[in-house]
Amino acid sequence: MVVVMSPDATDEDVAHVVEKVESVGGEAFVSKGVVRTIIGLVGDIESFHHLNLRTLKGVADVHRISDPYKLVSRQHHPDRSTVWVGRPGQQVPIGPETFTFIAGPCAVESPQQTLEAAQMAKSAGATILRGGAYKPRTSPYAFQGLGIAGLEILGAVGEATGLPIVTEVVDARDVAVVAEHADMLQVGTRNMANFGLLQAVGDAGRPVLLKRGMTATIEEWLMAAEYIAQRGNLDVVLCERGIRTFEPSTRNTLDISAVPVVQATSHLPIIVDPSHASGRKDLVVPLSRAAIAVGADGVIVDVHPTPETALCDGPQALLGAELRDLAQAVRRLPDLVGRRPAVAAGAVS
């Protein structure tokens, strides 16, 4: 932490800051410039916060140098992490060596629709199945998901296809039942700052897919990940899914730069959701290509056997030619950036 004194600060003001810092066991290094004095602090940052240094006479500003998150930061964990998803024998990696393709329906609607979507996903090369049983809808009148019946369908389809399952949990009270049926718990954009839910998924003993809040800064997002990590669960994968901007052509604006920015500061894997970022199926393939090129650790994409009848997000669901284009991009492009498609451990790629 660095304290910047104002140009008219007196020697007494500087001495007072030093005294305060030392009173909580910290060290203060004073550096006098021609116009200003700055003081470098070394010690426990939380105890410095309690000093309210900005309120002291002669203090112009206080800057934090180290990251506010610790467990998810690369400062303490320089190597990027790999998170494994699935039961023993079918675990799929998400991390820096591979490129993981996750696909499935936005919502679980029926056993038939989920199985067909899973088969489409699998034949396109996806190795993890997505699908929502609990849907966080903006309108209370919209389809809210099948709940436990949806989890059971996902479990059966996962069993039938051999694909591990990622599904969203929207309420801390449902974490246990979702963790019983799913291999990975998703926290959606609307719940990124639901700290009770983050703590509950942190305790659930399953990897977590943490989507970026649609109005969250990268730092706020990483602090949300820190809530999960603090419960002892470091198996967190971040998902950039677009942020709200003034641009109406797409549902959200995909912040592609978030990928390298996050990778520079956090060891957690990060994937991209081009479907929820754009809301448009014609943009899913180009944005997936961008995700691969920028070094993302994977993509998560909506597919549906009959998008025209989808109960949720039909306009962004892929099938047919777009899905074939996506499959081809995921098969070929990761190699150009030194990655290989992620398959289950022990499976032949």
* Interacting residues toward Mn ion by CB under 5 A: 106, 313
Q: Which is nearer to Mn ion, 164 or 307 (CB)?
A: 307
Stretch (H or E) spanning 277: helix 274-278
Q: Which is nearer to Mn ion, 78 or 140 (CB)?
A: 140
Q: Exactly one of 181, 206, 241, 339 binds ligand PEP (CB under 6 A); which one?
A: 241
Q: Exactly one of 145, 188, 279, 298 binds ligand PEP (CB under 6 A); which one?
A: 188
* Tokens encoding 302: 């909506």
Question: Considering the complex, what minimum distance in angstroms separates the CB of residue 252 from ligand PEP?
Answer: 8
CB atoms near residue 291 (< 10 Å): 28
Nearest to 114 by CA among 151, 153, 160: 153
Cα–Cα distances (Å) from 129 to 7, 52, 166, in that order, read: 60, 49, 6
Question: Considering the complex, what minimum distance in angstroms separates the CB of residue 132 from ligand PEP?
Answer: 5
Q: Exactly one of 58, 93, 132, 145 binds ligand PEP (CB under 6 A); which one?
A: 132
For residues 274 and 284, is the Cβ–Cβ distance under 8 A? yes
Name the residue number minimizing CB distance to ligand PEP: 188
Alpha-carbon gap, residue 49 to 53, rounded angstroms = 7
Q: Which is nearer to ligand PEP, 132 or 150 (CB)?
A: 132
Out of Mn ion, ligand PEP, none, what residue 241 binds, judged by CB under 5 to 8 A for its kind, is ligand PEP
Q: Which is nearer to ligand PEP, 109 or 168 (CB)?
A: 168
* Tokens encoding 229: 């990590």
User: Contact between 189 and ligand PEP (CB under 6 A)?
Assistant: yes
Count of residues in the chain = 349
For residues 263 and 290, is the Cβ–Cβ distance under 8 A? no
Residues that bind ligand PEP (CB under 6 A): 106, 132, 136, 168, 188-189, 211, 241, 273, 276
